Amino acid sequence: MSAPIDQRQLVQPWVESARGEGVELVGPDGMLTGLTDQVFEIALAA
In a domain, 15, yes or no: yes
pLDDT at 20: 95
What's the mean pLDDT in 24-39? 93
Is residue 36 scored above 70 in pLDDT? Answer: yes
What's the mean pLDDT in 13-35? 93
C-alpha–C-alpha distance, residues 10 and 2, integer Å: 16
Domain residue limits at 21: 7-45
What's the mean pLDDT in 28-44? 93
C-alpha–C-alpha distance, residues 8 and 10, integer Å: 5
Residue-wise pLDDT for 2-18, tens only, equals 778 898 999 999 999 99
pLDDT at 2: 77
In a domain, 1, yes or no: no
What's the mean pLDDT in 34-42? 94
Provide the domain count of the chain.
1
15 close to 25: Cβ distance less than 8 angstroms: yes
In a domain, 2, yes or no: no
